[in-house]
Structure 1
């Protein structure tokens, strides 16, 4: 009897249980302990791709809970331009696979600067093990599909939990407040499961439009912008179409001028602070194109594609939107038989690789 090979959808539906397990086990405790060993006034996360997007989703929550600035920088830029790590800066490098060559180079650069190389990964048996002075498992496990899904959500959840652990240890919050925040993060996992359940119907309702996407904007602010970044990445790598992530007001300052009726625009508007401006931009965009998609918890939004219960001022709640984009990316790619890339992409891959020689290729085909 053979076991069915997992797909992106397999991991989408596993994600809520992974998030809850992280909260129950306090997966971020080792990273929080490392932070508390020093005196740090800021945090720097070195990450790229989906890991960078996960950090972007978590950043507003982290800044609020930690009471410190949180910077995110790509590993290449870190090594080439920003490798100075000051004594008051807590820096760590993230790679879900643990085999990304740029992340491994960033760990080496931190060691060269005389600082502790802290690696955060989903695979503790990867090359990150030998490259890190402290290796932290963020609790996602190994995904057997090239286009990561649960790893993005799990990393964002892990980073929020890290901020909570530090805040509690420093006395910024008490035990009761930490428990309430953990419960709210568990509620985000529930909302994520709800979005995963809504996604197939949302796809079916606008299937003709979604199977005809050619040019896409994805819009959001705060954690919603991180969602836009990950949605754009998934559409680009799976559907192979240009998809651009834009901050809510940035969209209005130039990018909107290229709009035409064949554009599709996805608005991520979870959190009360973005509702009023978001409604204005949605209405204005619908004057140009009918292909407007809205994901929100705004009770005043007319016919949203994904509707969440009101999330109030939660800075972590936008995390729940990820299954929509992951489901669409997988199902549209599968339905349209787009897993194969242009033949010359294989030549590109032979010429340069972003993974170490120990990496086992997990592409869909």
Structure 2
């Protein structure tokens, strides 16, 4: 594609067009989603950039005597916090002295810069060896930031100012469809448990990449909730557009203020996680889970399905959440290196969970895959007997999430089945749970917490397990 576009621009330059006009004429002939930046020897002090369709982000950073172009905020955050986001069919002409914008047909347009409040220091590694490690350890702060100002801890009332909704409108919603990709989709699965329990609202979770290809049944009583850290995930934006065309209300949970998902939503919840530079999402995942709990409470209160007593109980749990996350991250709380030293050469892992922790098993497996390059599968523990059990032997580490909740006894049974086949049992347990510890080869512990915030705590040791495994493997 890149070579074809270059030749097309060169053809128009040869016909006597300026660089900007040659680019415009070339871009108008392109189909599909594209984010393109063009420089030329003829005008070396100029960059021409365009966004076509739901391509990745095209961000113009505004400085003093200098201007910047990037696909993501952290790339230029150390240079400027004033940024402009291009939309579909918009073109930017960038020089050191200034920036101008136009539509693809040549019509000039004015665009307002947005101030990005992220601290530039947060986009550097500092004392940490890798960005993923840094972002894992930032989670107590990012969780606190996403809660701050959104809940009255005395009454339990939740306020989401950028997601305006009346009680009548909330009760008129008959279905909420969550669209997301990867880690965000697993967060959506946790959100399904939370929202259905607190708001008594039917929730579906769809992979955004598949959503628009099956002609989904959506109407004006449906909310499509997109979850995307960057706000620029192409498949998620396409799913949002599908929802819009079918008359749905669009909401988003997004980390990047001013991103496309933010701009096209009817209501938005900002994660306030700060820049996430590591390829594997960590703090954005836990911030999303926190936002989904706030959303579940908000909808439950508006729909009349969540009592004042329940709201206050959840508010108290949320007040403790940053400290609980901090406890798990204390040095020596879990010994990852000793565990990883035994299993970093294994090529297959199985992660098991039930109920609200089943998506956490999926997320734990995903982290191990994408960071350590180890084949790992997350599975609902109750389905293990329907096939996966055949894979378990003395060479298969099985990570089981066994927190003290309503499926605790069921998970104990799954551990017994793994042990009977001589599998290696690595259990994630609550502090002081000797019953599971005695049946496990190794344990990772987490504090006791309210069942609906347990997934936020449970995932942190799995993130650290994947990180340390990658370091040991030199991945």
TM-score (structure 1 length as normaliser): 0.84
Going from structure 1 to structure 2, the CA distance change for 1:302 and 1:4 (only over 3 Å counts) comes to: closer
2:471 to 309, 328, 334: 334
Residue-by-residue CA offset, 1:78-107 (whole Å, 9 max, x unaligned): 111143312332222111111211011112
Structure 1 residues 79 and 132, CA gap change in structure 2 (3 angstroms):
same
Question: Which residue of the other structure, out of 333, 337, 343, is the alignment partner of 1:210?
Answer: 343
Cα offsets for 1:116-149 (capped at 9, x unmatched): 4333210023232444344442322321221110
Cα root mean square deviation, aligned:
2.5
Q: Hey, what does 2:327 align to over in structure 1?
A: 194
Aligned match for 1:12, one of 126, 136, 147? 136
Alignment equivalent of 1:307, drawn from 431, 434, 445 = 445
Q: CA 1:249 to 1:290, structure 2 compared with 1: closer, same or farther past 3 Å?
A: closer
The answer as to whether partners of 1:118 and 1:134 remain within 8 angstroms in 2 is: yes
Q: 1:167 and 1:199, CA in 2 relative to 1: closer, same or farther beyond 3 A?
A: farther
Which of 143, 149, 164 aligns to 1:33? It is 164
- Aligned-pair distance for 1:279? 1.7
Matching of residue 76 in structure 1 with residue 209 in structure 2: yes
Gaps of 5+ in 2: 1-120, 152-158
- Partners of 1:302 and 1:252 lie apart in 2 by 23
**Structure 1 residues not aligned, in runs of 5+:** 339-365
* Greater fraction of residues in helix: 1
User: Is 1:324 aligned to 2:461, yes or no?
Assistant: yes
- Tell me if the contact between 1:117 and 1:134 (Cα under 8 Å) persists in the aligned partners: yes
Tell me if the contact between 2:340 and 2:468 (Cα under 8 Å) persists in the aligned partners: no
8 Å Cα contact 1:203/1:210 also seen in 2: no
SS at match of 2:223: strand
Mean Cα displacement is larger for which, 47-56 or 27-36? 27-36
CA distance 1:67–1:115, shift in 2 (3 Å): closer
Paired with 2:401 and 2:209, the residues of 1 have a C-alpha distance of: 29
Larger strand proportion of the pair: 2
Q: How far apart in 2 are the matches of 1:309 and 1:89?
A: 37
- Structure 1 Cα separation of the partners of residues 333 and 346 of structure 2: 17
2:368 alignment partner, one of 235, 254, 279: 235
Measured at CA, do residues 145 and 112 of structure 1 come closer, stay the same or move farther in structure 2, by a change above 3 Å?
same
Q: What is the distance in 1 between the residues matched to 2:215 and 2:344?
A: 42
Q: Structure 2 vs 1, CA of residues 78 and 238 (structure 1 numbering), >3 Å: closer, same or farther?
A: same
2:272 matched to which residue of 1?
139
Take 2:218 and 2:436, find their aligned partners in 1: how far apart are those partners? Answer: 45
The structure-2 alpha-carbon separation of the partners of 1:81 and 1:31, relative to structure 1 and needing over 3 Å to count, comes to: farther
The count of aligned residue pairs is 336
Conserved 8 A contact 1:223-1:316: no
Judge conservation of contact 1:219–1:267 (CA < 8 Å) in 2. Answer: yes
Would the alpha carbon gap of residues 17 and 176 (structure 1) be closer, same or farther in structure 2, given more than 3 Å must change? Answer: farther
Question: What is the Cα deviation at residue 200 of structure 1?
Answer: 6.9
Cα distance, 1:199 vs structure 2: 7.4
2-side partners of 1:269 and 1:31: how far apart?
Answer: 37
Task: Show the counterpart of 1:42.
Answer: 175
Deviations along 1:192-225, whole A, 9 cap, x unmatched? 3333337773312323323122111100011211
8 Å Cα contact 1:271/1:315 also seen in 2: no
Q: Which moved more, 1:269-278 or 1:70-79?
A: 269-278
The separation in 2 between residues aligned to 1:153 and 1:134, in whole angstroms, is 20
Q: 1:88 to 1:214 in 2, by over 3 A?
A: same
Query: Any conservation in 2 of the 1:196–1:327 contact (CA below 8 Å)?
Result: no
Residue 88 (str. 1) matches residue 221 (str. 2): yes
- Asked if 2 retains the 8 angstrom alpha-carbon contact of 1:192 and 1:322, the reply is no
Change (3 A) 1:55 1:139: same
Question: Larger C-alpha radius of gyration, 1 or 2?
Answer: 2
- Aligned match of 2:403: 270
Which 10-residue stretch deviates more, 182-191 or 253-262?
182-191
Which of 149, 163, 175 does residue 296 from structure 2 map onto?
Answer: 163
More relative contact order, 1 or 2 (CA 8 Å, 6+ apart): 1
Distance 2:309 2:146 in 1: 19
- What TM-score do you get using the length of structure 2 for normalisation? 0.65
Q: What is residue 360 of structure 1 aligned with on the other side?
A: none
SS in 1 for 2:143: helix
Aligned position for 1:51: 184
